[in-house]
A and B are shown apart, each in its own frame.
Chain A
Amino acid sequence: MRFVRARRMRLSLRSTSARLALAVTASFLLAFVLLGIGVHYAVSAMLTQDARELVRVDAAGLVEVYRDEGRAALLGELRERIATDEDPDAVYALTATDGRVVAGDYRDLPTHRQGARWIEFTEHGADGDLRVVAQLQRLSDGTTLLTGTRTRSQDRFLALMLRTALAALLVAATLGALIGWLTSRWVSRRLRHLDDTAVRVGSGELGLRARLDGSDDAFDRLARRFNGMLDRIEELLGGVRHATDHIAHDLRTPLTRLRNRLEELRRRQDADEAGTQLDAAIGETDQLLHSFGALLRLARIEAQPPVHDEPVLDLSELVRDAVELYTPIAAERGIALRANLAGSGETRLRGDADQLFQMLVNLLDNAVKYAPAASEVALSLQRERQALVVRVDDRGPGIPEADRERAFDRFQRMETHRGSPGTGLGLSLVRAIVQRHGGQIGLGDNVPGLRVTLVLPTEPSAR
């Protein structure tokens, strides 16, 4: 039904903008994380480069001592440096020819690839794990000198940077989510009005327009185009209605003339053969005019807006009146008309009394017309939650399932009924009236016979 569809539309609208907000936030965060990782690598590479530069200079100094003053001087220099602990982060080691460490901070050289010049390793010390960057140098006597530095301050800096970045990420995520939420709310609010307008216009309130705020942003422009489109539709429909009125006028006038001429002739004739023929001709003209009138009425009802502005009325009163109207004609054929109405006060709904009465009359007329003599036609009116359910059951031939949908088409009359009087517009009119009242109509099997079921909402929803 209309109501359900509208709600689903709004829900999906909201989730669309929520998805949009989520996507924006996620891509924002992804960009932040990628940038953070890049910066982290760049900074840490730069810091390592600095440490290596430091080590290289230090090592060059030591190699110079070795070259100028020999191995003993180097050993002395190293021992002194280790003992004095001038630079707490500097590390040294010197091996003998067999690879044993003879002086230095380590008992053995850390494991490393054969021939590597630069190594990085982790030192497990009293202050926790420390990263060390070191250079290995083969001296001319076949021993190896390790010169390195602990990257304590660099690591601290990196850790601080990481912490700061994480905090920033947290703030950014919160802000992103908030902005995303606000954006989605704003978008869905802007769209909801347009959506509501579209739903209501779709259900027939053609005069409605989307609100403009004069901001000339994308939404405002969309609303303006939308309104322009509605203006055009209304103009076209108005044109159709105008044309219908004129066709009604222009075609009915000659028909009326024809009828008047026949009537005038009839007045001059007595009840002889020609008089009977004229009566028949007048009858045919009346039938034609009647069909034409019904067609126009149908077109007008279909073009009318839904019944939101109609007064509230009691449908059971209408049903009682319709049953009373048809009881004599049914009795003439020995058909009993039985009404089963829900308690008073339960059967109120918003609607057009004349149209609803016409709807009941058309249904009863069909039922009485097709019911076999001495059978029963039952009309029931019950309330089921937010709707009134009208059922008209007869014991006639019914309508085969395959033909039920077609039964509502204009001038569609069942083959078996072609001979009987009627315009072939009765059920089309019933359906148009039901739809204008936001309801539904269904044809079913009364085994045997036809069961017509109408469901009319008590308060047709605007949205």
Chain B
Amino acid sequence: MRVLLVEDDPHTAGFIAKGLREDGHAVDHAGNGKDGLFLATTERYDSIVLDRMLPGLDGLVVLQTLRGAGNRTPVLLLTALGEVDHRVEGLRAGADDYLVKPFAYAELSARLDSILRRGQAGGSEPTRLRVADLELDLLSREARRGDKRIELQPREFRLLEYLMRQAERVVTRTMLLEAVWDYHFDPQTNVIDVHISRLRQKIDQGHARPLLHTVRGAGYRLGA
């Protein structure tokens, strides 16, 4: 996969580029908005990681110019400003996701995976999700593992649905919070972990092979 990274801070850029390369992506780096815009319009990329505050040409302007020209490459916007209004502003300008600095590399990697997948998806929505012998029926809202039915609270259902849609990928706590709870807030303690461990009890208890894994320093992963 080919990724364009537009970031003025050399350290952050190096850190991200290194991680992306380790993940097996090809990375082009631009140190300011003008070069970034030039690369984005002349080359083809699978995704763009764009800093919001850039010298010369602001990240938002770059994004708006790209979208104005009909370029639909998935964009992950990076910023040091974690406010909701900034977030809304960024998404309205055409960003596919928004990541507040500081972030762990795992967070960026997980989100980039998620927006790429969203870009590729399309077509019909599945009515049934399956990971190994775990099955989720989105119509009857039933969950089964093997032949055993699992009773889920509405929120647990949403949690599991999100994890299954992102099966085999790392999902961070922030991503869960944004996708499963409809509020943008700062969780004070490990509330999400407790919800996950409850869900884990329901789906993994009594099974030899656990499906819900904790990824140290990053988040969770559902998969065989």
Q: Which residues of A contact B (CB under 8 A)?
A: 245, 248-249, 252-253, 255-257, 259-260, 263-264, 266, 279, 282, 289-290, 293-294, 296-297, 300, 318, 321, 324-326, 328-329, 332, 353-354, 357-358, 361-362, 365, 369, 421-422, 426
**A contact face: mostly helix, strand, loop, or mixed:** helix
In the A-B complex, the 10 residue pairs with the smallest Cβ-Cβ separation, listed nearest first, are A256-B102, A365-B188, A249-B80, A357-B183, A358-B185, A328-B194, A260-B15, A329-B194, A354-B184, A257-B11
Report yes or no: B155 in contact with A260, Cβ–Cβ below 8 A: no
Report yes or no: B190 in contact with A329, Cβ–Cβ below 8 A: yes
Report yes or no: A293 in contact with B194, Cβ–Cβ below 8 A: no
Considering the chains assembled together, what is the distance between the CA atoms of A256 and B99 in angstroms? 13
Residue of chain B at shortest CB distance from A285: B102
Contacts of A257 in B (CB 8 A): 9, 11-12, 15
Assuming A259-B104, A329-B189, A365-B188, what are 6 further A-B pairs, CB within 8 angstroms? A249-B81, A256-B102, A257-B11, A263-B104, A266-B217, A369-B189
Query: Does B44 belong to the interface (CB within 8 Å)?
Result: no
A334 CB to nearest B CB, Å: 14
Considering the chains assembled together, what is the distance between the CA atoms of A242 and B191 in angstroms? 33
Cβ contacts A to B, 29 pairs, < 8 Å: A248-B81, A249-B53, A253-B9, A253-B101, A256-B103, A257-B12, A257-B15, A259-B104, A260-B15, A260-B105, A263-B104, A264-B15, A264-B18, A282-B217, A290-B186, A293-B82, A294-B186, A296-B82, A297-B82, A297-B83, A297-B186, A300-B83, A321-B181, A328-B195, A329-B190, A354-B183, A362-B188, A365-B189, A426-B188
Contacts of B183 in A (CB 8 A): 318, 321, 353-354, 357-358
A137 CB to nearest B CB, Å: 106
A340 CB to nearest B CB, Å: 21
Considering the chains assembled together, what is the distance between the CA atoms of A358 and B186 in angstroms? 7
Contacts of A253 in B (CB 8 A): 9, 12, 80, 101
Report yes or no: A263 in contact with B12, Cβ–Cβ below 8 A: no
Report yes or no: B188 in contact with A256, Cβ–Cβ below 8 A: no
Considering the chains assembled together, what is the distance between the CA atoms of A394 and B187 in angstroms? 20
Residue of chain A at shortest CB distance from B183: A357
Residue of chain A at shortest CB distance from B198: A328
Considering the chains assembled together, what is the distance between the CA atoms of A353 and B182 in angstroms? 9
Number of residues from B at the complex interface, CB < 8 A: 33
Residue of chain B at shortest CB distance from A247: B80
Query: Does B84 belong to the interface (CB within 8 Å)?
Result: yes
**B contact face: mostly helix, strand, loop, or mixed:** loop
Within 8 A of A (CB), among B183-218: 183-191, 194-195, 198, 217
Question: Which of A256, A257, A362 has the most chain B CB atoms closer than 10 A to its own CB?
Answer: A256
Considering the chains assembled together, what is the distance between the CA atoms of A245 and B186 in angstroms? 19
Report yes or no: B188 in contact with A361, Cβ–Cβ below 8 A: yes
Contacts of A300 in B (CB 8 A): 83
Residue of chain B at shortest CB distance from A318: B183
Residue of chain B at shortest CB distance from A288: B102
Residue of chain A at shortest CB distance from B184: A354
B191 interface neighbour in A263, A264, A325, A422, Cβ under 8 Å: A325
Contacts of B189 in A (CB 8 A): 329, 365, 369, 421
Contacts of A354 in B (CB 8 A): 84, 183-185
Contacts of B185 in A (CB 8 A): 354, 357-358, 361
B214 CB to nearest A CB, Å: 14
Contacts of A290 in B (CB 8 A): 186
Q: Mark B66-102, 1 if CB is under 8 A from A, else 0.
A: 0000000000000011111000000000000000011
Report yes or no: A263 in contact with B217, Cβ–Cβ below 8 A: yes
Considering the chains assembled together, what is the distance between the CA atoms of A326 and B217 in angstroms? 23
Report yes or no: A260 in contact with B82, Cβ–Cβ below 8 A: no
Question: Which of B153, B181, B188, B195 has the most chain A CB atoms closer than 10 A to its own CB?
Answer: B188
A316 CB to nearest B CB, Å: 15
Report yes or no: B194 in contact with A252, Cβ–Cβ below 8 A: no
Considering the chains assembled together, what is the distance between the CA atoms of A321 and B217 in angstroms? 27
Contacts of B184 in A (CB 8 A): 354
Within 8 A of A (CB), among B20-68: 53
Considering the chains assembled together, what is the distance between the CA atoms of A361 and B187 in angstroms? 7
Considering the chains assembled together, what is the distance between the CA atoms of A252 and B99 in angstroms? 14
